[in-house]
Amino acid sequence: ICSFVCSPKGFPKLKNDTFLRAARGEETEHTPVWCMRQAGRYLPEFRETRAAQDFFATCRSPKLCCELTLQPLRRFPLDAAIIFSDILVVPQALGMEVVMVPGKGPTFTEPLKEVEDLLKLRQKVDVTAELGYVFQAITLTRHSLEGRVPLIGFSGAPWTLMSYMIEGGGSTTMAKAKSWLYRHPEASHRLLRLLADVIIDYLVGQVAAGAQALQLFESHAGHLGPEQFEDFALPYIRDIAQAVKSKLKEEALPLVPMIIFAKDAHYALRDLARAGYEVVGLDWTIRPQEARAQVGKDVTLQGNLDPCALYAPKEKIGELVKKMLEGFGTQRYIANLGHGLYPDMNPEHVGAFVEAVHAHSRHINKH
């Protein structure tokens, strides 16, 4: 137990470990709950804190990241915090410029167009030099949480990051990035390998800084078919879990639970359940019973309420949560949304979601 509770940096003792216990498959009194994008624009205090600053400047400020991470916890009895950051800090560490364009989202000033462009990327990344600000934010936040709940660190997965780097931003088809997989398979693997190596060091660094769990976001999995996923996404997802765990052991760091969230990748659930992660995150497009049948009993599931359900009246949210808990069962399960919170959501409805998970799971456990 000590590896999860004690820490060389003298962090406060953890008071609520429900999330970590559920992740490891241990019994819990209630189902733990947190929300992807829980630190976000749906909170007026978030908009106020962010107003004066450029988005990536905020990401580089440990103090602001800490404040934004803590904001939702002041409002809601969540069972975990996730560090405020962005998946695109990794391409930045490789030397690419990304700016946040209002109304458009993240935009790369010079996306990768030709195979030769790979030479412009840093081939060796010192994550402490390039991403140390994230580590500082994690350490500061871990202290500021005062042991209230565990802190989750994260990274984007290689395919998702590659797709942004080639598309230059969001895309509905990912046609440019996918064309690389068909036209330049070897160069694609070179880029994916480079990304995986940085991600491994980055995730290990987050644990060294105080992260108590890690989530890998394969947000663009749904743009790939089963074969492309198996060739260009899954090997790196597996490799990251394995390498992170062996490095944590080597460096005598805590072996923290790892979560894989591959959006829209139902076709790969069986493979993901065997990819070396304690938790498999689900989007809202699969039935709980179906997901459980595919992943088996040895993996914890996380998800999967449709985020848009939070637009419903509060009583309806409670009913949907109850149905979700009945589908998943209250054990080996972490409640979450099937994707992140949207900016126009009512914070009170987020509160209703969190409270419904606690109330209904306690009731189900008692009876």
C-alpha dihedral, 61 to 65 to 71 to 72, nearest 10°: 160
The two beta strands, 333-337 and 81-82, are unpaired
Instruction: Identify the active-site residue in 37, 142, 148, 292.
Output: 37
State the pLDDT at residue 196.
Answer: 98
Q: Element (H or E) spanning 134, and its range?
A: helix 127-144
Instruction: Provide φ and ψ at 52, rounded to 5°.
Output: -85, -10
Asked whether residue 1 is domain-assigned, the answer is no
Please tell me the distance from the alpha carbon of residue 56 to that of residue 50, in angstroms, as a whole number.
10
Res 102: pLDDT? 87
Annotated catalytic residue 37: yes
What does the pLDDT read at residue 127? 98
Name the catalytic one among 41, 75, 193, 238.
41
HSE of 127 in the Cβ direction (CA atoms, 13 Å)?
22
Total count of residues recorded for the chain = 367
Task: Give a yes or no: residue 29 inside a domain.
Answer: no
50 is catalytic: yes
Task: Please name the amino acid found at residue 283.
Answer: D
197 in catalytic set: no
Domain count, the chain: 1
Structure tokens at 82: 């996730």
Does residue 361 sit within a domain?
A: no
Q: Residue 70's closest CA among 104, 46, 87, 50?
A: 46
What's the rounded Cα separation, in Å, for the pair 278 and 25? 8
Per-residue tokens: 286:
């699969």
With beta carbons less than 8 A apart as the criterion, state whether 299 and 223 touch: no
Tell me how far apart the alpha carbons of residues 153 and 167 are, in angstroms, rounded to a whole number. Answer: 26
For the four alpha carbons of 209, 68, 256 and 216, in that order, the dihedral sign comes to: negative
pLDDT at 1: 33
| Strand ranges of the sheet holding 213-218, from the earlier edge strand across to the other edge | 81-82, 151-156, 213-218, 258-262, 279-281, 300-305, 333-337
For residue 41, the domain's CATH number is 3.20.20.210
Q: Which phi and psi (to 5°) does residue 123 adopt?
A: -85, -20
Q: Determine the structural domain holding residue 168 and report its residue range.
A: 36-281
Cβ partners under 8 Å of residue 49, min gap 6: 64, 67, 68, 71
Q: Is residue 302 part of a domain?
A: no
Specify if 42 maps to a domain.
Answer: yes
> E strand or H helix at 180, and its extent?
helix 175-183
List the chain residues with pLDDT less than 70.
Answer: 1-8
**Tokens describing residue 24:** 């490891």
d(CA 231, CA 235): 7
86 noted as active-site residue: yes
Query: Could you report the per-residue pLDDT of 44-67, keeping only the tens digit for each?
Result: 999 999 988 899 999 999 999 999
Provide the token pair at 101.
């364009």
Identified catalytic residue from 42, 60, 142, 164: 164
Q: Examine residue 3 and state whether it is found in any structural domain, yes or no.
A: no
Catalytic residue, candidates 17, 21, 42, 50: 50
Residue 182: inside a domain: yes
Point out the catalytic residue in the list 86, 117, 231, 306: 86
In a domain, residue 342? The reply is no
